[in-house]
A and B are shown apart, each in its own frame.
Chain A
Amino acid sequence: MSLVRNFIEDWSRYRRSINEGGFHEYEHMWGMVIDLDKCTGCNACSVACYAENNLAVVGEEKFESGQGMHWLRVERYWDEPNIGNERVRDTQEHGGSFMPMMCQQCNSATCEPVCPVAAAYHTPDGLNAQIYNRCVGSRYCANNCPYRLRYFNFYSYYEDSWPSPLDMQLNPDITVRDKGVMEKCTFCVQRIRSAKNTAKMENREVADGDFQTACQQTCPTTAIVFGDLLDHDSEVHKLWHKFQTKLGTTKQKKDNPELRGYRLYEQLNTEPSVTYLERVRDV
Chain B
Amino acid sequence: MSKSEFDRRDFLKVMGVSGVAATVAGCDMPSYITSEEGAEEVIPYLSPEEYVIPGVGVWYASTCLQCPAGCGIRGRVREGRVLKLEGNPTMSLNSGKLCQMGQSALQSHYNPDRLTTPLMRKDGALAEATWEDALALMEEKTGPSSGISGHRFAWYTGSVSGHQNVLLKAHLEAMGSSNHFVHEVINTRVWQAVCKEMLGQSMPTLRIDKAGLVLSFGADFLGTWMSPIQFSAQYAAFRSGDERGMLIQAEPSMSLTGANADLWVAVRPGTEGIMALGLANVLIHKERMDASVLPPETQELIARYNVSITSRITGIAGDRLIRIARHLKNRSPSLVLAGGPAAGHTTGFEAVQAAMMLNILLGNVGETIEANADFAFPQLAALGGGTTDLNRFAHAAGSGQLDALFFDGSNPLFGAPDHMNLNEKFDAIPFKVAFSTFMDETTARADVVLPIASAIEDWGTHVAAYQNEQHEIAFQQPLMEPIHPLTRSFGDLLLALNAMRSPGTYDEIDDYYGYLQSALGAIPGVLKGEDAAEDDPLDIQLWNQILQDGRLEVPAETSLFTTSVSIKDITSPPTDEAFPYYLVPTPRSSLYDGRHANLPWLQEAPDQISKVVWTSWAEIHPVTASKLGLEEGDLIRITSASGVLEVPVYIFKGIHTDVVCVPMGQGHTEYGRYAKGRGVNPLKILDPGEDTRTGELALYGTRVGLAAAGRAGRMVKMGNTESQHGRKIVATITAEQQRRNEGES
Do A and B touch (CB < 8 Å)?
Answer: yes
Which A residues are within 8 Å of any B CB, using their own CB? Answer: 35-38, 40-44, 46-48, 50-52, 57-60, 63-64, 68, 70, 73-83, 85-86, 88-99, 161, 163-173, 190-191, 193-194, 197-198, 201, 214, 217-223, 242, 256, 258-260, 262, 264-265, 276, 278-283
CB neighbours (8 Å) of B652 from chain A are 78, 92
**CA–CA, A242 and B590, complex, Å:** 35
**Shortest distance from the beta carbon of B679 to any chain A beta carbon, whole Å:** 11
In-complex Cβ contact of A169 among B96, B110, B236, B260 (8 A): B110
Known: A38-B239, A264-B729, A279-B731. 10 other contacts (CB 8 A): A36-B730, A59-B614, A60-B613, A63-B718, A73-B719, A92-B264, A95-B261, A193-B25, A256-B741, A281-B733
A43 and B112 within 8 A (CB)? no
Number of residues of chain B lying within 8 A (CB) of chain A: 105
**Shortest distance from the beta carbon of B740 to any chain A beta carbon, whole Å:** 7
| Chain A: CB-nearest residue to B257 | A40
CB neighbours (8 Å) of A88 from chain B are 653
Report 13 cross-chain contacts, Cβ distance below 8 Å, ordered by A residue.
Answer: A42-B608, A47-B602, A51-B103, A57-B603, A64-B714, A73-B718, A77-B730, A97-B729, A98-B608, A169-B81, A173-B28, A193-B25, A220-B233
CB neighbours (8 Å) of A214 from chain B are 84
**CA–CA, A162 and B260, complex, Å:** 34
B735 and A76 within 8 A (CB)? no
Interface status of B565 (Cβ within 8 A of chain A): no
Q: A169-B81, A259-B741 are in contact. Are A90 and B258 (CB under 8 A)?
A: no
B228 and A220 within 8 A (CB)? yes
Q: A43-B606, A221-B236 are in contact. Are A95 and B258 (CB under 8 A)?
A: yes
**Shortest distance from the beta carbon of B595 to any chain A beta carbon, whole Å:** 16
**Shortest distance from the beta carbon of A252 to any chain B beta carbon, whole Å:** 12
CB neighbours (8 Å) of A166 from chain B are 107, 110-112, 600
CB neighbours (8 Å) of A98 from chain B are 259-260, 608, 730
Interface status of B53 (Cβ within 8 A of chain A): no
CB neighbours (8 Å) of B103 from chain A are 44, 47-48, 50-51, 218
**CA–CA, A222 and B236, complex, Å:** 7
CB neighbours (8 Å) of A221 from chain B are 232-233, 235-236, 239
A60 and B729 within 8 A (CB)? no
**CA–CA, A259 and B440, complex, Å:** 52
Interface status of B127 (Cβ within 8 A of chain A): no
Among B498-506, B510-518, B720-728, the one that faces the other chain is B720-728
CB neighbours (8 Å) of A168 from chain B are 33, 35, 81, 110, 483
CB neighbours (8 Å) of B731 from chain A are 36, 82, 262, 276, 278-279
| Chain A: CB-nearest residue to B320 | A93
A-contact 0/1 string along B376-412, CB 8 Å cutoff:
0000000000000000000000000000000000000
User: Which residues of chain B (75-113) have a CB below 8 Å from chain A?
Assistant: 78-79, 81-87, 94, 96-100, 102-104, 106-107, 110-112
**Shortest distance from the beta carbon of B77 to any chain A beta carbon, whole Å:** 12
B602 and A76 within 8 A (CB)? no
Q: A40-B232, A90-B653, A222-B236 are in contact. Are A64 and B716 (CB under 8 A)?
A: yes
Task: In the A-B complex, list the 9 residue pairs whose CB atoms are closest, starting with the nearest.
Answer: A220-B232, A97-B730, A92-B654, A47-B100, A221-B236, A282-B262, A60-B614, A282-B735, A57-B600
CB neighbours (8 Å) of B611 from chain A are 76
Interface status of B244 (Cβ within 8 A of chain A): yes
A169 and B240 within 8 A (CB)? no
In-complex Cβ contact of A283 among B102, B244, B260, B262 (8 A): B262
B733 and A190 within 8 A (CB)? no
Interface status of B256 (Cβ within 8 A of chain A): yes
A-contact 0/1 string along B254-285, CB 8 Å cutoff:
10111111111110000000000000000000
A86, A92, A193, A223: residue with the most chain B Cβ atoms closer than 10 Å:
A92
B33, B83, B611, B623: residue with the most chain A Cβ atoms closer than 10 Å:
B83
**CA–CA, A239 and B179, complex, Å:** 57
A63 and B100 within 8 A (CB)? no
B718 and A279 within 8 A (CB)? no
| Chain A: CB-nearest residue to B245 | A282
B103, B483, B600, B726: residue with the most chain A Cβ atoms closer than 10 Å:
B103
User: Which residues of chain B (499-541) have a CB below 8 Å from chain A?
Assistant: none
**CA–CA, A86 and B727, complex, Å:** 10
Interface status of B601 (Cβ within 8 A of chain A): yes
CB neighbours (8 Å) of A217 from chain B are 86-87, 96
CB neighbours (8 Å) of A47 from chain B are 100, 103-104, 601-602, 605
Interface status of B222 (Cβ within 8 A of chain A): yes
A93 and B601 within 8 A (CB)? no
Interface status of B146 (Cβ within 8 A of chain A): no
**CA–CA, A214 and B728, complex, Å:** 27
B98 and A48 within 8 A (CB)? yes
A258 and B600 within 8 A (CB)? no
**Shortest distance from the beta carbon of B469 to any chain A beta carbon, whole Å:** 19
Interface status of B39 (Cβ within 8 A of chain A): no
**Shortest distance from the beta carbon of A162 to any chain B beta carbon, whole Å:** 8
CB neighbours (8 Å) of A197 from chain B are 24, 26
Interface status of B46 (Cβ within 8 A of chain A): no
CB neighbours (8 Å) of A70 from chain B are 604, 718
B97 and A280 within 8 A (CB)? no
| Chain A: CB-nearest residue to B28 | A172
| Chain A: CB-nearest residue to B105 | A51
A76 and B719 within 8 A (CB)? yes
CB neighbours (8 Å) of A96 from chain B are 254, 259-260, 609, 654
Interface status of B145 (Cβ within 8 A of chain A): no
**CA–CA, A242 and B741, complex, Å:** 11
**CA–CA, A43 and B19, complex, Å:** 29
CB neighbours (8 Å) of B97 from chain A are 44, 218-220, 222
**Shortest distance from the beta carbon of B539 to any chain A beta carbon, whole Å:** 32
| Chain A: CB-nearest residue to B76 | A171
CB neighbours (8 Å) of A75 from chain B are 719, 729-730
**Shortest distance from the beta carbon of A210 to any chain B beta carbon, whole Å:** 11
Interface status of B292 (Cβ within 8 A of chain A): no
B733 and A198 within 8 A (CB)? no
Interface status of B246 (Cβ within 8 A of chain A): yes
**CA–CA, A80 and B723, complex, Å:** 8
Interface status of B130 (Cβ within 8 A of chain A): no
Interface status of B737 (Cβ within 8 A of chain A): yes
A-contact 0/1 string along B56-85, CB 8 Å cutoff:
000000000000000000000011011111
A258 and B254 within 8 A (CB)? no
**CA–CA, A86 and B286, complex, Å:** 34
B738 and A260 within 8 A (CB)? yes
CB neighbours (8 Å) of A91 from chain B are 264-266, 653-654
Interface status of B22 (Cβ within 8 A of chain A): yes
CB neighbours (8 Å) of A44 from chain B are 97-100, 102-103
Q: A165-B112, A217-B86, A220-B232 are in contact. Are A81 and B726 (CB under 8 A)?
A: yes
**Shortest distance from the beta carbon of A127 to any chain B beta carbon, whole Å:** 18
**CA–CA, A45 and B22, complex, Å:** 20
B722 and A77 within 8 A (CB)? yes
**CA–CA, A60 and B263, complex, Å:** 35
Q: A51-B601, A260-B741 are in contact. Are A40 and B724 (CB under 8 A)?
A: no
**Shortest distance from the beta carbon of A76 to any chain B beta carbon, whole Å:** 6
A81 and B264 within 8 A (CB)? no
**CA–CA, A97 and B727, complex, Å:** 13
CB neighbours (8 Å) of A265 from chain B are 727
**Shortest distance from the beta carbon of B239 to any chain A beta carbon, whole Å:** 6
**Shortest distance from the beta carbon of B381 to any chain A beta carbon, whole Å:** 25
| Chain B: CB-nearest residue to A214 | B84
CB neighbours (8 Å) of A60 from chain B are 613-615, 716
CB neighbours (8 Å) of A222 from chain B are 97, 233, 236
**CA–CA, A35 and B733, complex, Å:** 13
**CA–CA, A68 and B612, complex, Å:** 13
CB neighbours (8 Å) of B263 from chain A are 93-94, 282
| Chain A: CB-nearest residue to B723 | A79
A51, A52, A88: residue with the most chain B Cβ atoms closer than 10 Å:
A51
**CA–CA, A169 and B454, complex, Å:** 14
**Shortest distance from the beta carbon of A204 to any chain B beta carbon, whole Å:** 15
